[in-house]
A and B are shown apart, each in its own frame.
Chain A
Amino acid sequence: MDLSTSNIIGDLVRQYAPFSWVAAIVNGIIALVAVMAVGVGPAPILIWWERKVAAFTQARLGPMRLGPWGLLQTVADVLKLLFKELITPRGADKFIFFLAPALPLTASFLVLAVIPWDHNLQVANPGMGVPFVIAISGLGILGSLVAGWASNNKFALLGSLRSGAQMVSYEVSLSLIMLFVVLVSGTTDLREIVVNQQGPFWHWWIIKAPVLGFVAFVMYMISATAELNRAPFDMVEAEQELTAGFHTEYSSTAFAMFFLAEYINLVATSALASTFFLGGFLPFQIGIAGVDHLLMLIPGFLWMAMKILGLITLFMFFRWTYPRPRVDQLMMLEWKFLLPANLILLALGAVFVAFGLIIP
């Protein structure tokens, strides 16, 4: 199989553009549209899927009235949200108040831009892919942090303070797990990390790095749940405690943007998990030639989408199954348990690599 990268669309634009700066702008717009399509496109479907998963867990049907299986329910909800009044609370810092919803969206779009969707399907492929992702995902924290501050509401402020503490903490273990993957695969290039897992499914990092890979995957999922502010670690919103946490005062489109960002973030985080541990866009192969050929007929981006959907469904089951720990218990989990465990994992990974137990 040809593993070399080529930039067909980019090259085409460059070839026909009269000036190089035109090509740069056109390519930029194409990239933006692509990322937005990948990010915003699945969000309504995911919201519908979340409701269906919730309904399944709770022994009910979920949305059924609008469209087949209630597929149009999300459309109706979005329309309702858009027609609501955009309320700015008295005493709010207006500029920051309306800037805040844009920040998490921006961060998730930037992460989506570097994710390889197929052999030749990636908006940008920086050599420092993993550090880029770590750096950018820090931006997402800023959104909920300033949203609570600008709202002039004590519940929102409490929520944003929690979000600051929680997301910064879990960022640490998330970064350490990413470093573990970098360590075992010997590259920070996201595409190369995927290509390193070429082969049957036991060549994926979750299995290929003996035991450690699975442990790292489990810890990634825990940290990611906290990082995404999803239940059971949704202290930031904590409906029962803080009404709606940092977005208590947001309505209409501003709230819709937070809501959207949550789902795009979900896609981005699951895409990263799939890239790091589940072979990204590589097809699922079982090592039997005939079956593998059939499986390979399914294009890479569909494999990627399937893996992402599987992980997202897992996140959704977490959300609808577990009760929520208290905020101090969550911090304890990170600093007293996950962080030391991650450091040990990293050290063990280094030992394994040094003794040749893991071959990148």
Chain B
Amino acid sequence: MEMVKRPLPAGFTKIAGDSDTEEYFINMGPQHPATHGVLRLVLKLDGEIVRECVPHLGYIHRGIEKQGESETYLQYIHLTDRMDYITAHQNNHSVCLAIEKAMNIGVPERAEYIRVLVLELQRLSSHFMFLGCFGGDMGAQTALLYGFKEREVMTDIFDELCGGRLTFNYMRPGGVANDIPANFLDRVRGLMKTTRVAIDEFERLLTGNIIIQERTRGIGILTKENALAYGCTGPTLRASGFSYDLRKDDPYSIYDRLDFDIPIFHNGDCFDRYLIRVEEMRQSIRIIEQCLKEIPAEGPYRSKEKPSYRLPAGSYYAATETAKGVFGTYVVADKGDKPWRIHSRSPNLANLSAINEMVKGHMIADVIAVITTIDVVIPDIDR
């Protein structure tokens, strides 16, 4: 058989002394059951061992940022729902913070508590989805269903709160869109009880499991230096031993008043990235329980609404700590009711960009372990 010498795919570098006949390329995605969306990874393989991994993006690019330039600030909020749809509330919050910062809009006490409640519920629901997908991607399909089962309860609560189950569009500059329903607090209180049990259940199912440990310990190590160099944030960074959480380091909303810890792990492998999320869920429960206790019974849920939001000329940046990392909104305003340029800094893009450092030298199965533990959501990467 005649061997055809093919050029290297885009993004790969030829290493001297590397023989082309022994290594081959495989396209993992864009249609693949475990890439959590239309992510395309070109893997350079030596047998089953990954030598190099280059992610290719753009399969779900919708031009959200460009679209944002022709829509008012309020309309842009709902577009951020479509980025990381697992942490929609937190994305919304980031845009609202930017607008509030630019226009000096105050937020009523009660609205802040509602916001933090919703944000932390969102973090829990995102992490439950992570736990489920983590188990599912490791081959334990049942865990996937368990994760969704727990998340479903929170989705129901959000449904009653704002009518949306995935794209909420609940945050508004100066507060939230509507007041919480009468039974909201009771439902959340009840949820906290079951959630604690559910987290313990997951720990029993996954943490002690010998197969999970063998699959994830020492796999996909992201060093602290690499994590910082690639701009990784969120649990991915904190599992590498660097404590950086906007809720503590640059507190927004009422996080500085609440008592909670930022868990930190040091190995930077897949197992630590899993453990840190479990720990974060426990901290979220702590935050929610404090909010439930301290939330004022009476009060406005939103400061006075403006007919239109015209930001003073200048550039503004506000960031929130979503379940995936730092989600920032950068606005360049020109006095109009629409942004001149609006940009979202998405945590997933930075986290994914470090994937080559993590999977190099591991096997195909470990690529999946890495993808699932950095918890990427593809629409957030492409925007």
Chain A residues engaging chain B, CB cutoff 8 angstroms: 54, 57-60, 154-155, 158, 231-232, 234, 238-243, 320-329
Contact of A326 with B215 at beta-carbon distance under 8 Å, contacts A57-B142, A60-B145 already known: yes
Within the complex, which residue of B32, B138, B142, B363 is in contact with A324, where a contact is CB–CB below 8 Å?
B138
How many angstroms between the C-alpha atoms of A57 and B206 in the bound complex? Answer: 15
Q: Does B364 contact A (CB under 8 A)?
A: yes
Taking CB atoms, residues of chain A closer than 8 Å to B145 are: 58-60
State whether the Cβ of B75 lies closer than 8 Å to any Cβ in chain A.
no
Contacts of B136 in A (CB 8 A): 240
A242, A320, A324, A329: residue with the most chain B Cβ atoms closer than 10 Å: A324
Query: Does B214 belong to the interface (CB within 8 Å)?
Result: yes
Complex contacts, B141 vs chain A, CB 8 Å: 54, 58, 231, 320
Shortest Cβ distance from residue A156 to the other chain B in the assembled complex, whole angstroms: 11
Asked whether, in the complex, the Cβ of A158 is within 8 Å of the Cβ of B209, the reply is: no
Task: List 28 A-B pairs, Cβ < 8 Å.
Answer: A57-B142, A58-B145, A59-B149, A155-B26, A234-B139, A238-B139, A239-B34, A240-B139, A241-B34, A241-B364, A243-B32, A320-B141, A322-B139, A323-B135, A323-B139, A323-B140, A323-B206, A323-B209, A323-B211, A323-B212, A325-B211, A325-B215, A326-B214, A326-B365, A327-B48, A328-B48, A328-B363, A329-B215
Contacts of B146 in A (CB 8 A): 58-59
Q: Which residues of B contact A241 (CB under 8 A)?
A: 34, 364-365, 367-368
**In chain B between 201 and 221, which residues have their CB closer than 8 angstroms to a CB of chain A?**
206, 209, 211-212, 214-215
CA distance A224 to B212 in the complex (A): 21
Most A CB atoms within 10 A — which of B32, B139, B206, B368?
B139
- The chain B residue sitting closest to A153, CB to CB, is B26
The reply to whether B142 and A231 form a contact with Cβ atoms under 8 Å apart is no
Complex: how many Å from CA A238 to CA B369?
A: 13
How many B residues touch the partner, as a band?
A: 20 to 34
A229 to B363, CA, bound (A): 20
CB closest chain-A residue, reference B133:
A240
Cβ-based interface call for B375 (8 A): no
User: Given contacts A59-B146, A243-B33, are A322 and B368 in contact (CB under 8 A)?
Assistant: no
The 8 Å CB contact of B366, one of A155, A323, A326, is: A326
Cα A154 to Cα B26 in complex, Å, equals 7
The answer for the CA separation of A298 and B368 in the assembled complex, in Å, is: 50
Residue of B whose beta carbon sits closest to that of A240: B34
What B residues does A324 contact at CB under 8 A?
Answer: 138-140, 211, 215, 365
Q: Are A323 and B365 in contact (CB under 8 A)?
A: no
Q: Which residue of chain A has the shortest Cβ distance to B34 in the bound complex?
A: A240
Residues of A within 8 A of B211 (CB): 232, 322-325
- Judging by beta carbons under 8 Å apart, are A240 and B137 in contact? yes
Please, what's the 1-or-0 string for B25-58, where 1 marks a CB less than 8 Å from any CB in chain A? 0100000111000000000000010000000000
Whether a CB of chain A sits under 8 angstroms from the CB of B24 is yes
Given contacts A58-B146, A240-B33, A328-B363, 5 further A-B pairs with CB under 8 A are A58-B145, A326-B215, A326-B366, A327-B48, A327-B363
Interface centre among A57, A59, A323, A327 (most CB of B within 10 A): A323
